[in-house]
């Protein structure tokens, strides 16, 4: 089915079902750790694997995706830190435009350069308004893009940015406090943004306990992404997935 992964995001949102995505950084795993993550994720009913990292220097991306694909049916979504992180072995690609920044390269420049390669990959492309929110520590993306994150206490700027992204045609909004953020995004900001847009809202960065994942979903996040905390303790997958899936659907 065309746009299968995007439909799964929007269908789940429409049904009020919250989703949990495990973020795998190919630089930080090997066959053995990926196999463990797959096993835990399947038994915990994880909804998506997001795969990507800020830099990705290892060469393990294709192999990692192939291993996931042959082991389970959890969809794989590329969350690329750069255009070099495109792999035909994934199911879909978050086609990120850094709408919280003012660096033309990450808004459109790199997209122009990589467009033919992305098209040729045959991947399902999901345009995503990527908003980096201040999480109390400088993120790699802010450093590399030389652009400031959104202030964490300025929900109105976040709302206007997400709205602009949606009206520009972006199919997803991703609010990220950055990997390993000291302060995850506040429920106040999540609620205000979620109430202003109708496309699925992805939230990640610094979520280290299931309670936070639950509260973020209750506030309006549709998809919760966790990377760092799971790298430290993979058994968190089970609790995080259970917390996200326990959020009651609002009818
Ligand atoms: C980072 O949103 C992701 O881009 C996940 O963040 O690694 O802190 O969970 P963590």
Distance in angstroms (rounded) separating the CA atoms of residues 101 and 131: 8
**Average pLDDT of span 131-144:** 90
Which pLDDT band, with edges at 50, 70 and 90, does 95 fall under?
very high
Query: What's the whole-number average pLDDT of the chain?
Result: 95
State the architecture of 4-245 in CATH terms.
Alpha-Beta Barrel (3.20)
Q: Can you give the pLDDT at residue 163? A: 98
Residue 180 Cβ < 6 Å to ligand 1: yes
CA dihedral 173, 207, 192, 14 (to 10 degrees): 60
Query: How remote is the CA of residue 227 from the centroid of ligand 1, in Å?
Result: 5
Phi, psi of 204 (to 5 degrees): -160, 175
Q: Can you give the pLDDT at residue 43? A: 98
- Tens-digit pLDDT profile for residues 60-92: 999 999 999 999 999 999 999 888 889 999 999
User: The tokens of 58 are what?
Assistant: 């290892």
Q: Can you give the pLDDT at residue 57? A: 73
User: The tokens of 186 are what?
Assistant: 């506040």
Percent over 90 (pLDDT), the chain: 89
Residue 204 Cβ < 6 Å to ligand 1: yes
Q: Are 227 and 52 in contact (CB under 8 A)?
A: no
Query: How remote is the CA of residue 106 from the centroid of ligand 1, in Å?
Result: 19
Distance in Å from the first CA to the final CA of the chain: 27
Question: Which of 26, 85, 181 has most ligand 1 atoms within 8 Å of CB, for mutation?
Answer: 181
Q: Can you give the pLDDT at residue 250? A: 74
Does the pLDDT of residue 251 top 80, yes or no? no
User: The tokens of 54 are what?
Assistant: 């800020």
- Tens-digit pLDDT profile for residues 4-62: 999 999 999 999 999 999 999 999 999 999 999 999 999 999 999 999 987 767 789 99
Query: How remote is the CA of residue 178 from the centroid of ligand 1, in Å?
Result: 5
Does the pLDDT of residue 200 top 90, yes or no? yes
Question: Long-range pairs for 9-15 at CB < 8 Å and ≥24 separation?
Answer: 9/126, 9/172, 9/200, 9/222, 9/223, 10/199, 10/200, 12/47, 12/200, 12/222, 13/200, 13/222, 15/249
Residue 207 Cβ < 6 Å to ligand 1: yes
Ligand 1 atom, smallest distance to 141 CA = 4
Residue 220 Cβ < 6 Å to ligand 1: no
Q: Can you give the pLDDT at residue 142? A: 84
């Amino acid at each position: 089915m065309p746009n299968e992964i995007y439909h799964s995001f929007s269908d789940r949102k429409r049904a009020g079902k919250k989703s949990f995505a495990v973020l795998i950084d190919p630089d930080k795993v090997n066959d053995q750790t990926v196999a463990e993550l797959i096993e835990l994720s399947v038994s915990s009913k994880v909804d998506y694997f997001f795969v990507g990292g800020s830099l990705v220097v290892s060469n393990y991306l294709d192999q990692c995706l192939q291993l996931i694909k042959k082991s389970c049916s959890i969809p794989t979504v590329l969350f690329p830190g750069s255009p070099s992180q495109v792999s035909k072995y994934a199911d879909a690609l978050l086609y990120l435009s850094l709408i919280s920044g003012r660096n033309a390269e990450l808004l459109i420049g790199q997209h122009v350069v990589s467009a033919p390669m992305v098209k040729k990959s045959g991947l399902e492309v999901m345009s995503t308004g990527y908003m980096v929110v201040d999480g109390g520590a400088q993120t790699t993306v802010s450093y590399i893009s030389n652009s400031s994150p959104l202030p964490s206490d300025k929900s109105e700027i976040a709302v206007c940015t997400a709205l602009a992204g949606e009206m520009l045609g972006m199919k997803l909004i991703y609010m990220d406090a950055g990997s390993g953020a000291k302060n995850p995004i506040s429920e106040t900001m999540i609620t205000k943004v979620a109430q202003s847009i109708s496309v699925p809202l992805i939230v990640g960065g610094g979520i280290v306990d299931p309670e936070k994942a639950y509260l973020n979903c209750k506030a309006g996040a549709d998809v919760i992404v966790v990377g760092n905390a799971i790298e430290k303790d993979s058994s968190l997958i089970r609790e995080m997935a259970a917390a996200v899936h326990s959020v009651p659907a609002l009818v």
